[in-house]
Amino acid sequence: MDNNNIDHLFRHHSGKMVSVLIRIFGFTNLEIIEDAVQDTFLKVSISWRTKQPENPEAWLTQAAKNRVVDIFRKLKSETNYSPNLTHGIQTIAISELFLDTEIEDAQLRMIFTACHPKLDPRDRISFALKTVSGFSIKEIASALLTKEDTIKKRLSRARKSILKNDLRFRIPQGKMLQNRLESVMEVLYLIFNEGFHSNSQQQLIRKDLCGEAMRLCQLLLKRESLRTPDVYALFALMCFHSSRLDAKINSENELLDLKHQDRSLWHFPLIALGNSMMNKAVETTNFSHYHFESAIAAEHLQAKTFKDTNWNKILYWYEQLNQLQPMPIHVLTMAVICVQNSSYKEAESLFNQLNPEDFAQRMYLFYAAKSDYFYVINNCNKAIKYLDLAINTVTNSFEKAFLEQKKLRWLNTYNF
């Protein structure tokens, strides 16, 4: 088995193993548990080089069970500590904790703990990616465009906060559930968005992040008490965006905007699944930003060609979204839509409400949008000026190449 497959298996299973072992031994032993899981996969990388077991998943599950015994021995010998199996599992056999339903329950408990309001919001996504999804510190740093030392500090801070506040490894009930669920959805939304439009320098799309966010969202939907309209809307949004992943980059590894994507490459079963989720999501009168973003994504997908796009409807949904959740990026997008509609005065008014600093690391989006505006009103000098600003501030190599190609086309058009 090659290293890529082993990495995939580790990603897929380590979160499950850590979650189940935390349920048995508690958060006080998190570092021992993570080391044990890491050691298991180190052995896999060596033993599977020559021969892979017929059922890798079953092998890993058995390995996890064996680690339970090893950890018992380790804890007893090093700290004279006998684990106290609490949280309602005293009467459950260890082997039963590795049944699919129990693994899913443990993972849900872990994601709700990772998103506890007593944890720093900056730490939640890092801790969730590490403990629930099995991402390495290096991968988390790359995904979040942050230094590895920063991620280490965030993980350490999260662990200390969990112990200091004696957080329970459980899914909250009653009124607390809705607040925590909102935090969970926010983390999953951030994970998905980083995969769909990565901040990393060399990757525009991180399908592993998109897939992991969708997997965790599906875990929520499997639990009846968690099937809220907002969760359905979030999953619909993920389905709609994921359906276009294969069309975002062409065979030459170049970024394609929505106008130039081959719509035959869109994955229509995912679109159908998203529509089904939206039907459930709208069984309410209180719409979240996930509802409006899903409606916008669906509107794009309904258009057979770019020219068929109903920009007025999309503008309406963005206005509703910005009213609910005022953000500079929404105003910028409305300006872009007005440019598409040839409503140039309205676009200018919206641009004037914004500053480049409003967009932090994505400042290039503001410059690129303004360059398009000046291009269509035939102000060639300002169009090139703002395009250069976008090129100089973009970090992703795919997007930089996309903007540079656009500049070449414009220079030829303007005969510079």
Report the b/e string of 301-323 with b at 16+ CB within 10 A: beeeeeeebebeebbbbbebbbe
pTM of this prediction? 0.81
Secondary structure (3-state) at 249: strand
* Digit-coded pLDDT (tens) for 169-187: 888 888 889 889 998 998 8
> What average pLDDT values come out for the chain (416 residues) when binned by 10 residues?
63 81 83 81 75 76 71 64 47 62 85 90 88 82 80 94 89 87 90 75 74 92 94 98 90 81 94 97 94 97 94 96 94 96 95 91 92 94 95 88 92 73
Instruction: Give the Å distances, CA to CA, from 85 to 24, 31, 179, 212, 355.
Output: 6, 18, 28, 30, 55
Give dist(CA 152, CA 144) in Å, integer: 13
Q: How far apart are CA 26 and CA 22, in angstroms?
A: 5
Distance (Å, whole) CA 363 – CA 365: 5
Of the candidates 370, 395, 371, 393, the one whose C-alpha atom is nearest the C-alpha of residue 383 is 371
Q: How far is CA 128 from the centre of its chain?
A: 11
Q: Which two tokens stand for residue 60?
A: 């890993």
pLDDT digits (tens, 9 = 90+) for 254-275: 778 888 899 999 999 999 999 9
Burial environment of residue 58 by CB neighbours within 10 A (0 to 12, 13 to 18, 19 or more): exposed
Check if the beta carbon of residue 395 is closer than 8 Å to that of residue 361.
Answer: yes
Architecture of domain 327-416: Alpha Horseshoe (1.25)
CA-based radius of gyration for the chain: 24
Contact 106, 23 (CB under 8 A): yes
